[in-house]
Structure 1
Amino acid sequence: PGRRHVPRAAASARHRGPDALRAHPAGDRLGTGRAGPGRSAHPGPHRLPGPRRASERRPDQHPVRRVRRRPRAPPGRRNAGSDVRAGRRGRGAAPGAGDRCAAGGRVPSVRRRGSRSAARCSCRPSGRAASKGTPAGVVALYLDTLGQQRVRRDLALLHRTATRIGGSLDVVRVVRDLADILVPAFGDLAWVDLADAVPSGDEPPRLAGGGELHMHRAAVAAAGDAPWPAHLLQPGQPAPPVPSSATLRAVQEGRAVLLDREVVADVLGNDESLVRLFVPEDGHSGVWAPLFARGLVLGNITVWRTDQPDPYDERDADLLAEIASLAALSVDNARRYTRERRSVLALQQRLLPPPAGDQPAAETAGLYLPAGEGAEISGDWYDVVPLPSFRLALVVGDVAGHGLYATATMGRLRTAVRTLADLELDPVELLTHLDDGVQQLTRETDPDTPVGATCLYAVHDPVTGRCVLASAGHPPPVVVRPDGTTEVIDVVPGPPLGVGGMPFETAAVDLEPGSVLALYTDGLIERPDGDLDSGVRWLADSLAELCGPGRSLDEAGRALMSRLDDAAPRDDAALLLARVRAIPADDMAHWQFAADPAAAAQARQAVAEQLAAWDLEEMAFTTELIVSELFTNAVRYAGGPVGLRLIRGGALVCEITDPSNTQPRLRRARWTDEGGRGLFLVAQLSARWGCRYGRHGKTIWAEQPLTPAPVDLASLV
């Protein structure tokens, strides 16, 4: 007891002491260092595994030389930090390991990446070696770090995946980035297949087994600059039907599987034509993992190694499964965002008028450009409202905020504008009523939810050629004259809707036939530097170039939108273009009469003659009856002078103007009433009728189609 067994070879080596250390090849280059991969068979106690590497330290600074020069510990004490005894196994050492090394045994040759170090042995030798105080031996420690490096590589790949694809809300961009990440870091060829419903935002069908997968190749990546192999399924092509198999069902259940040519052939029923679509020519090992999120299989990822010699193992399959899990969440988030964005965009487009229109007053074209990726739909809108007497109202507005709430608010404001426009209010009065409505909305909603909007309202009269407009905090419109010159209309912007407290102001501009009036939202002229004036100048110059006489406004508007920066706009943009027209003088007739009941006959005579000149004799009876009733009411209740105007366009419009501001009322007369049937007759004989107020009096108008339907006079009694 108490005696130690020291193998003979170890004892022999021990007594060599410093001579053995000095004789060790490159002894002053031993020390802590990291060895590259290599194959070695290292006999003896002094041979370090793996290739040696020269140290960058000077010999006198090397740790081994420092150890060799360290003073010997006092007798009976161990050197600090030394736990190794010559010829004795350390803790955790395998039995006999020291014996085999000391006896010159060989460690099996393997491929490793590791680090090595050398240290002094602390022991109690006897004899000459002890008296000289020299170290008794060297301990060489080899640590295999290949596993640690693999873990670091895997973590770096996971981190790169999360940071690159986690912030995108575009399904196609997510899967393309995913394929680029995997090649060449994880394999030589990679592709991502997606369910057909995913890019549009819909949920994919829940599949079990083979058959039609309803998938397509969404993204591919090849190592280096190599083109995608022509025999493989190409981007955009649908995946062919495949038979059911256990491997396919495992992937559909959310598990990753290892692949080789034999496994793929078994999955595809040994159909060589299908195998050629899914296996690269030099592919010797692959991994197949599903994009599985929230119970849905959104697609799958497949990675193959062709040039990299090492085959995939279970750890690689687990790594790809974890990458696929991260990617699946990003794909599903992008899919759900696409669905919500598409729903809001569809709602907004349903609330907007048709993109192109043709009215007697103007040719119109409206365009809407949603914001770029990651931005919610806002409340930009435009509208074209036909008014009586062939006038045309043009509206553009922008609701504060984004998302479904802004879209819903936009719908309410557009409805309110159309309702107020039908009342034929002037622009200032209309914006005043609209401002009151927005303030009411503000009081009804959450204080933290912004409610507000800007709006520009313009009315063009093709009879006079004048456009009257007012602005509620909106950018000014641009006019392109027939000769190509441009003008920014100087309209004083009032406060935005919902602010209140300040009146709105009216601006008027005369527009020649063929002039193009452009109304827009600020998203069209915003610039990164915040200079809106330069944006307005760019818009005016572009319109002057694009809105030529022979070009449709819809085509010009699309060309203008295409000139925006390639970067996705930060805000929605709406554009409304109107090429104005004028009613020819030959299609109008105007008379003025005194407030005399006898003048009614003169008015009827003038109407009959004018209709005959227009070849509209078949409309003479109904038109004379309408004129007689309206003229008599004006003489009786309003006084004179009384104006009469006929306008021929897509319909025949009859207008009676008087100096009174009294609103006429339609009522159903009783059998015993002697009057009260005039407006009722007008309503029955015309397609529509109404009243509007001006600066001096009012105008009652009635509109008839140019091809009137037969009138049943008995039904009027």
Structure 2
Amino acid sequence: MSPVHPFDEAATARAVIAENGTLVHWNEGARRLLGHAPKDVEGRPAAALLAAGATFPAGSRVRRGERWYGTLDLRHRDGSTVSVWVLAHHRPPRQDEPGEPGDWLVVTPLEASPRRPLDDPLTTAVLAQAPCPTAVYDERLRLYGVNRAMAEVVGLPEDRILGLRLSEIGGKPESEELEEHLHQVFDSGTGRDVETFLRTGGESRAHAWLARIAPLIDPEGRVRGVCMAAHDFSEQHKARERLQLVNEASVRIGSTLDVTRTAQELADVCVPALADFISVDLLDPPEHAGEHRLEPPTAPITLRRAAQQSVHPGSPEAVLKPGDVQVYPAVSPHAGSLTAGRTIVAPDAAASLKQWLSVDTARAERVEQFGIHTTMSVPIRARGQTLGVAVLTRYRRPDPFTADDVLLVEEVTARAAVCIDNARRFSRERETALALQRSLLPQSLARTAAVDAASRYLPAARAGVGGDWFDVIPLSGMRVAMVVGDVVGHGIQASATMGRLRTAVRTLADIDLAPDELLTHLDDLVVRLSAEAGAEGTTGEVGATCLYAVYDPVSRRCALARAGHPPPVMLPPGGPAQEIDLPAGPPLGLGGLPFESVELALPEGTVLALFTDGLIESRDRDIDAGHRLLCDALEASSDSLEAACHAILRSLLPVGGTPDDVALLLARTHGLPASQVATWDIPADPALVAAIRKQVVAQLDDWSLSEATFTTELVVSELVTNAIRYGEPPIRLRLIHDATTLICEVSDSSHTAPHLRRAKIFDEGGRGLLLVAQLTQRWGSRHTAEGKTIWAELTLVED
């Protein structure tokens, strides 16, 4: 007997036989029984130890995981025949070796525990009077005796199993675990309760057992054995498991609005609680964002594997991988369940699915390899529509699916179906909103002489598409407007509001409003939108933030104003990057509050970074840290605006996606050289218009723009004449040009804006602006602090 473990290995003859019949283990007790040494028999066919005419086990009546017992005639080493009662357990492969063949554990006791007299108080109290299944194990932890209730549970002759260990009687991993608990109770002298779930030889199905293990102590205080009383609490156990599973399903399934992840959560909940393997296959959504039909689909049915789970890592039972598509015939459990519109249980997989497995050889091999004995296919339905099917499989658990299992799986699947349907509807709405938003955002940024620009837009990973937007708007006088905004909320409504605000900003920018005035008008619009969005007598929840900037390449000055929006970051040539100190202003939609503009000089090549709050705000860091990361990334990669956009997003955004929309606009400023600008102060004398035309022609010759002389003379003549006739001094003429455009501007102190009208046949005037409109690419007027400016653009590049 081992000083550490009380097991006497020689008290049982034990052998292990592989599936192919090879003897892989032979213990000392087996040597005592038949005289063969381990080295003489291990690795050889076990059939060689059978006497003539004997077979093991009896034909092929034993299924995987079951047992066989009876008398065998064995061949002794000396040639004699020994008749022995043996107990043989077929053991499935180990959990860490999926797909490997099992083996046979063959045992027979060589000596029983010495029985005490029947009037022994210990025997009388424990064995005779115990109302529940009870077993007593001696000092060697070998069976000393059982009562009638335990004998019925074990299902073996009591006189044959006396002297065997618990692991030898049960032959299952659960029996080995119980035996270890027996040993610990024997060593410690302290009892314990152990819960286990197994099917014994005397049961038709697995039961939940509460094993109450207690030491047997004699009057001298010595531990003389261990008593184990078993209580069947299967119903309570199943009820508790169902409640736990339903609770777990409600918590785990639907944690995100992602179809694939929701399907995987369903699979994770069902294994191993309900099945050894599960596959979740879904119908592909109808084209053009349609709905599934209410009537059940017809076979054959095309399904896509969305998720699967197994008790073995890597799901070796699976024929498909997630994402694979397969067509299922009517005889398959997938199509059968979907066409019938109800759960179908196949209690004998090999027989029930014989027709399908005959044509699907890959699955037939898996059924045979793993010993799959039962399947259950459950339709996944929500709002009356069929979304897919979940197929549960058992092979390691010996018991088939019961009616209670069906109800439980249907409840869990119904919860998952609602979550999958919600996820699909969310995905469909998100795709619609994203398509709408992309159509409302600029497809490409306007190319201007004032700035080089690059941009990025990223929708939120899970919250839905929001209302972030950006724009670059060319203005008169080579100026350019840059805007970034963020509408409160997510979804199609936010995208639609964003489109309306972006259109409003472009309209207001065309009339050359100052940044603070533009935000005031935009605030009024948001107030009206809120009123329209609310129910009768209430106000809707429409709000937004915005940053608007106007850059003039001639003066190299930039005017900015913001309405509750994050301030921009400026990187002058040579650095460092810094946040522009700009009054915050109220968010759009509050109404009646003023906005303030700030004007600052920007050196040539300054980079402006305009962005929404989704870029710098994060749960993992404060806003100041976000600003530092932005500045560092901008400084490190400012040579290329596209590279800078990529570096900024990579530095500030998490790998799995941002929780909020992100809009980023980078602009590098360019100044217009003084040599490309000419200015004249015009006396209020019509007689001097001809002299002005000559000076303009000379300037065009200096600029090598003689091909534009004729048109420019006419435009300048009309604009200057109108300013002298209808405007107020001082009057100023300015010409600006770059490689593609020539701009004529005439400014005066009058605030009266000109109007284009159609002159009658005999009118002497009224055709000047009409002529300007016909000769130029575009024209317009803008109000200034001193009055107004009339401008016209001529294209220098031939179409």
TM-score, structure 1 normalization: 0.76
Structure 2 residue 394 is the aligned partner of structure 1 residue 305 = yes
- Give 1:237 shift: 1.8
Please give the secondary structure, in 1, of the residue aligned with 2:325.
coil
Q: Is the 8 A contact 2:681 2:730 kept in 1?
A: no
CA distance in 2, matches of 1:46, 1:160: 35
Structure 2 residue 410 is the aligned partner of structure 1 residue 321 = yes
Return the letter of the residue paired with 1:437.
L
Partner of 1:423: 511
Please give the secondary structure, in 1, of the residue aligned with 2:764.
coil
Q: 1:209 to 1:35 in 2, by over 3 A?
A: farther
Q: Is the 8 A contact 1:360 1:650 kept in 2?
A: no
Q: For residues 498-647 of structure 1, what are the structure 2 equivalents within 5 Å?
A: 498-528=589-619, 531-546=622-637, 548-549=638-639, 551-553=640-642, 555-563=643-651, 564-566=653-655, 569-638=658-727, 639-647=729-737
Q: Is the 8 A contact 2:350 2:367 kept in 1?
A: no
Partner of 1:84: none
Counterpart of 1:238 (choices 314, 317, 325) is 325
CA distance in 2, matches of 1:29, 1:164: 49
CA distance in 1, matches of 2:778, 2:210: 95
Q: For residues 625-704 of structure 1, what are the structure 2 equivalents within 5 Å?
A: 625-638=714-727, 639-704=729-794
- Give 1:174 shift: 0.8
Partner of 1:289: 378
Partner of 2:159: none
Partner of 1:456: 547
CA distance in 2, matches of 1:332, 1:320: 18
Q: 1:576 to 1:108 in 2, by over 3 A?
A: closer
Q: Is the 8 A contact 2:607 2:666 kept in 1?
A: yes
Please give the secondary structure, in 1, of the residue aligned with 2:501.
helix
Unpaired runs of 5+ in structure 2? 1-117, 138-142, 155-165, 167-177, 186-190, 192-200, 213-228
Q: Is the 8 A contact 1:258 1:313 kept in 2?
A: no
Q: Is the 8 A contact 1:477 1:519 kept in 2?
A: yes
CA distance in 2, matches of 1:198, 1:187: 31
Structure 2 residue 557 is the aligned partner of structure 1 residue 466 = yes
Return the letter of the residue paired with 1:456.
L
CA distance in 1, matches of 2:363, 2:127: 62
CA distance in 2, matches of 1:566, 1:327: 27
CA distance in 2, matches of 1:218, 1:283: 22
Q: Is the 8 A contact 1:257 1:287 kept in 2?
A: yes
- Give 1:230 shift: 8.8
Q: Deviations 1:469-490 (Å, cap 9, x if unpaired)? A: 1112221100122324212111
Please give the secondary structure, in 1, of the residue aligned with 2:359.
coil
Q: 1:646 to 1:565 in 2, by over 3 A?
A: closer
- Give 1:113 shift: 4.7
| CA RMSD between the two structures | 3.9
Q: 1:183 to 1:597 in 2, by over 3 A?
A: same
Counterpart of 2:430 (choices 334, 341, 351) is 341
CA distance in 2, matches of 1:237, 1:599: 83
Identity value in percent: 42
Quick check: 595-604 or 558-567, which moved more? 558-567
CA distance in 1, matches of 2:323, 2:525: 50
- Give 1:231 shift: 7.1
Return the letter of the residue paired with 1:659.
S
CA distance in 2, matches of 1:596, 1:280: 105
Q: 1:34 to 1:349 in 2, by over 3 A?
A: farther
Q: Is the 8 A contact 1:194 1:299 kept in 2?
A: yes
- Give 1:422 shift: 0.7
Q: Deviations 1:572-616 (Å, cap 9, x if unpaired)? A: 332222222233444433333323323322322233233334443
CA distance in 2, matches of 1:200, 1:217: 22
- Give 1:443 shift: 3.9
Please give the secondary structure, in 2, of the residue aligned with 1:297.
strand
- Give 1:165 shift: 0.5
Q: Deviations 1:298-330 (Å, cap 9, x if unpaired)? A: 122223334334444554444333332221111
Kindly indicate whether structure 1 or structure 2 has the higher relative contact order, using CA contacts under 8 Å at least 6 residues apart: 1
Unpaired runs of 5+ in structure 1? 1-18, 57-61, 63-106, 118-140, 710-717
Quick check: 646-655 or 25-34, which moved more? 25-34
Partner of 1:145: 233
Counterpart of 1:432 (choices 498, 520, 523) is 520
Partner of 1:477: 568
- Give 1:279 shift: 8.4
- Give 1:520 shift: 1.3
Counterpart of 1:406 (choices 478, 481, 494) is 494
- Give 1:352 shift: 1.6
Structure 2 residue 285 is the aligned partner of structure 1 residue 197 = yes
CA distance in 2, matches of 1:109, 1:700: 100
Q: For residues 237-256 of structure 1, what are the structure 2 equivalents within 5 Å?
A: 237-239=324-326, 241-245=327-331, 247=333, 248-256=335-343
- Give 1:268 shift: 6.2
Q: For residues 19-34 of structure 1, what are the structure 2 equivalents within 5 Å?
A: 22=121, 24-27=123-126
CA distance in 2, matches of 1:695, 1:35: 103
Partner of 2:345: 258
CA distance in 1, matches of 2:427, 2:244: 30
Partner of 2:114: none
CA distance in 1, matches of 2:144, 2:539: 72
Counterpart of 1:229 (choices 296, 302, 316) is 316
- Give 1:517 shift: 0.9
CA distance in 2, matches of 1:46, 1:627: 114
Q: Is the 8 A contact 1:357 1:365 kept in 2?
A: no
- Give 1:533 shift: 2.7
Q: Is the 8 A contact 1:355 1:365 kept in 2?
A: no
Q: 1:220 to 1:584 in 2, by over 3 A?
A: farther
Please give the secondary structure, in 1, of the residue aligned with 2:791.
strand
TM-score, structure 2 normalization: 0.69
CA distance in 2, matches of 1:267, 1:45: 44
Q: Is the 8 A contact 2:337 2:379 kept in 1?
A: no
